[in-house]
Structure 1
């Protein structure tokens, strides 16, 4: 939604000195501390230049995590930073509509000294949905995601993952483009027919392993995964936009249905994070982040992940800040996040935890120990005492040093607390500038059609038809050249974390993403387009790819 409405909470000068609080040009107002005896209340801010130093929002169910996430998202949007967040229960969608005047909001605004009191506002929002039901569809090609993440998505064992890597290598060598699940299924059938031949060249390929992968593909398809794989693939630049008032676009992923397939949810967000890492240019430490990525239900990313993958996630989180991206993990328990990742999260909002079991008590101690101590505050005790809408807050300040932890009343959001209606969502989607760009799937010629055509030609030859080898698209890494197309934009090379990791494990090189076809063309035109695209992209991506390979090159499963 893009609107010319005046902003609520006009940016304030820092030297007004009137005791009132609000966003400033370089800081987001989070709330006001609850003073210890003899102290004065202190306003708590997130400094925008440290927004890409990542963060953590934790707390038990019902303590106010979603509202804190909304407050942060509103603040980043006002500062011109784009936001991406998964909307698990639909509650975040209210950010697209003006808040409703309620006594507790007015009282909280007064308690935290909000300049001008509580004022409603609405924010620019783009809705996304892997299933295309509550937002624009998000798609990626099979080759973009790659065999490593696909293996995790389908919960394959080491042997099956090895066969999947072989399948991608065969697609490369045979010039087969992998776009959607039917391409991968056709490729696996093709490999099963040639298992004896391929074992000699690529390693052991058993029909039992292929059958197991095919069964997992069926499970994935039944979960709705088929809607994620295909074209047109998502363009990262469509996530990083501003409205006409200069406010950052808030991208909300409808995740209520997606959460029924937690592995698909976590794999998708990891893929998207890796795409941001690969495609965005280096910017160092900007005055404001380019994009802030909220990873809700963060434990799903780390549950059952092998240590090697956890190490690489930790490295990507550390390095992506130089792309101007801040990653904020949202979860109930700080123990859900590995220590190596937890150590990188500089901005922290800790809501109340309940300590009924030994593990709960350990979580409270862990949460308390990760804060910079406040000698006037028993942090562990306060964590168990806080009410809804209160949190322990510690933000980076000065030269990037964590601030002393403060018990804080969180400011009220300006947008609606709670979900918007289906009618309101439909109206926003109807006004979206992306309307029509992703809504219709494109089924381009790819591995499925090529293999089907080859089988038909072999059958025709056996039946006395014409003979001769079929015309094939020249081979290229991971599925050959893109299907004939007239792209609206030049697709980037690589394949995100899936692509880079697959180049390590599969023995191949990062290759084309699969394209965004809009029509048909001759083989000559395809080759010409590929040469032009390779030349254009090589200069811009070579350094980044070299750095990325240096980071991930030592990874082993």
Structure 2
């Protein structure tokens, strides 16, 4: 048996599964494609997460596109983070090309151009289904981690949430939270300290500054109603194809905090609402996170810990996470160790640091008697990748340098007219693009403060009236007293006069008698 035959036998044996699977392409040996030596991924283990990595221009996005298409074909819904704006073409069929036909002839797979059901979603003002979440849905723990709050600040955030729960004050957007925060150290200071303890104004000031920073990255648009229901990510069309939900993120590349905020809230919501599934025949949802380094670049240790925990736990909900980035070192080791599928496109060694990174990357793959992995990593062409997955028993499949199949959909973006048509036909756009501005904590506290001010004004006016009435009574009393005193003096004078007259009359009477 030749080395080529031995290699094909290993690939065929390692890629034979009982259940459904996805064909990625054909294995390569010594730079040549082995026709019909198909490299597959069992659908059953796609909830074990994965990584698509490689230098710029090596074909990462097309590999993501191929995976999304094949998952949709199998009835598995997909969520894509489109950072570069080049994935909308999934909604249109490929125009075909002689080079595509040549590639597929080498692989041994027929090429069938096809389009897929697509929903365009947006975190900002871009056209598409608006994604929002309320502050209440985040909860105090996740909200604190997003703000990178200290222990003391986290305690205050928990108090704010508790106060709002106890007083039925809905925390819908950041304005609501800011209003309650300001209320806690001003008009409502005594009220909150009575029930929840002292709240430091220095800490509330620090929290407020962090919220302002979050607002500057556009989070004020994200927080609010109507909240997006994650169950709407699990839809299939009338033909049984899973919807490919594309989040358009081209305008938030420079706002990593907003991106990581959204991702964490989304993953937390999916984990809390999706039912336990375990290892079933196929996943419930697959999420591809393009430019994954943006999640981790600005994230604190607390956020890293939160992401790692979710990655470990969310697979039991039938959800697979796939990180797409230039270098595996962009992903923390704790997350990287959880990724079952690895599609590694070429890496370039321009510096000593690059060569060291390539050597470390090669150590992440199963040892193969057919490859020097580090050498292969630098010699792969465009649309070629090293692939290692997990078989149906959770064991790594044989490492294979793979000629990747071409996407069945358009390898270009939709036109503005096509995007407009897609959004007009969207069921979700009608549901979520209506802005709801119901009464929440901000308005309720404004009313409470206004009512308290009105009551205080009334109390003050009442006190002033009572004081005036009291003064009036005192004045009346003084007048009566003066009047009584005046009458008494007059009476005394009259009595005195009368008394004097009587005495005089008496004296004169006596004198008269004496004269007679």
Pairwise same-fold verdict (TM > 0.5): yes
Match of 1:221 in 2: 215
Say which of 103, 106, 110 aligns to 2:105: 110
Q: Following TM superposition, by how much is the alpha carbon of 1:315 offset from its aligned partner in structure 2, in angstroms? A: 2.9
What SS does the corresponding residue of 2:87 show, helix, strand or coil? Answer: helix
Query: Does structure 1 conserve the Cα–Cα contact (< 8 Å) formed by 2:78 and 2:243?
Result: yes
Query: Does structure 2 conserve the Cα–Cα contact (< 8 Å) formed by 1:149 and 1:267?
Result: no
Task: Tell which deviates more after alignment, 216-225 or 332-341.
Answer: 216-225
Match of 1:130 in 2: 123
Q: Distance in 2 between matches of 1:418 and 1:338?
A: 32
Query: Does structure 1 conserve the Cα–Cα contact (< 8 Å) formed by 2:179 and 2:445?
Result: yes
Q: Following TM superposition, by how much is the alpha carbon of 1:75 offset from its aligned partner in structure 2, in angstroms? A: 0.6
When the two chains are superposed, the root-mean-square deviation of aligned CA atoms in Å is 2.5
Q: What per-residue deviation string (whole Å, max 9, x for no partner) do you get for residues 307-348 of structure 1?
A: 454344323212211211111111111112222221221111
Query: Does structure 2 conserve the Cα–Cα contact (< 8 Å) formed by 1:196 and 1:205?
Result: no
CA gap of 1:341–1:37, structure 2 versus 1, over 3 A, is closer
Match of 1:190 in 2: 183
Match of 1:59 in 2: 54
Gaps of 5+ in 2: 1-14, 462-516
Q: Following TM superposition, by how much is the alpha carbon of 1:260 offset from its aligned partner in structure 2, in angstroms? A: 2.1
CA gap of 1:61–1:435, structure 2 versus 1, over 3 A, is same
Match of 1:255 in 2: 249
Task: Tell which deviates more after alignment, 121-130 or 208-217.
Answer: 208-217
Gaps of 5+ in 1: 1-20, 468-557
Q: What per-residue deviation string (whole Å, max 9, x for no partner) do you get for residues 243-267 of structure 1?
A: 1110001000001112221111012
CA gap of 1:353–1:200, structure 2 versus 1, over 3 A, is farther
What SS does the corresponding residue of 1:397 show, helix, strand or coil? Answer: coil
Q: Distance in 1 between matches of 2:427 and 2:109?
A: 34
CA gap of 1:312–1:156, structure 2 versus 1, over 3 A, is closer
Match of 2:274 in 1: 280
Aligned pairs (5 A) from 1:310-349: 310-349=304-343
Aligned pairs (5 A) from 1:230-309: 230-303=224-297, 305-309=299-303
Say which of 144, 151, 154 aligns to 1:151: 144
Q: Distance in 1 between matches of 2:380 and 2:411?
A: 20
Q: Distance in 2 between matches of 1:221 and 1:444?
A: 21
Q: Following TM superposition, by how much is the alpha carbon of 1:24 offset from its aligned partner in structure 2, in angstroms? A: 11
Q: Following TM superposition, by how much is the alpha carbon of 1:203 offset from its aligned partner in structure 2, in angstroms? A: 4.9
Give 1 or 2 for the bigger CA radius of gyration. Answer: 2
Q: Distance in 1 between matches of 2:18 and 2:96?
A: 24
What SS does the corresponding residue of 1:251 show, helix, strand or coil? Answer: strand
Answer yes or no: is 1:140 the counterpart of 2:133: yes
Q: Distance in 2 between matches of 1:38 and 1:222?
A: 52
Query: Does structure 1 conserve the Cα–Cα contact (< 8 Å) formed by 2:19 and 2:281?
Result: no
What SS does the corresponding residue of 1:221 show, helix, strand or coil? Answer: helix
Q: Distance in 1 between matches of 2:32 and 2:414?
A: 44
The number of residues matched between the two structures is 444
What SS does the corresponding residue of 1:463 show, helix, strand or coil? Answer: helix
Q: Distance in 1 between matches of 2:329 and 2:33?
A: 32
Answer yes or no: is 1:166 the counterpart of 2:123: no
Q: Following TM superposition, by how much is the alpha carbon of 1:128 offset from its aligned partner in structure 2, in angstroms? A: 0.5
TM-score (norm 1): 0.75
Q: Distance in 1 between matches of 2:272 and 2:234?
A: 15
CA gap of 1:203–1:301, structure 2 versus 1, over 3 A, is farther
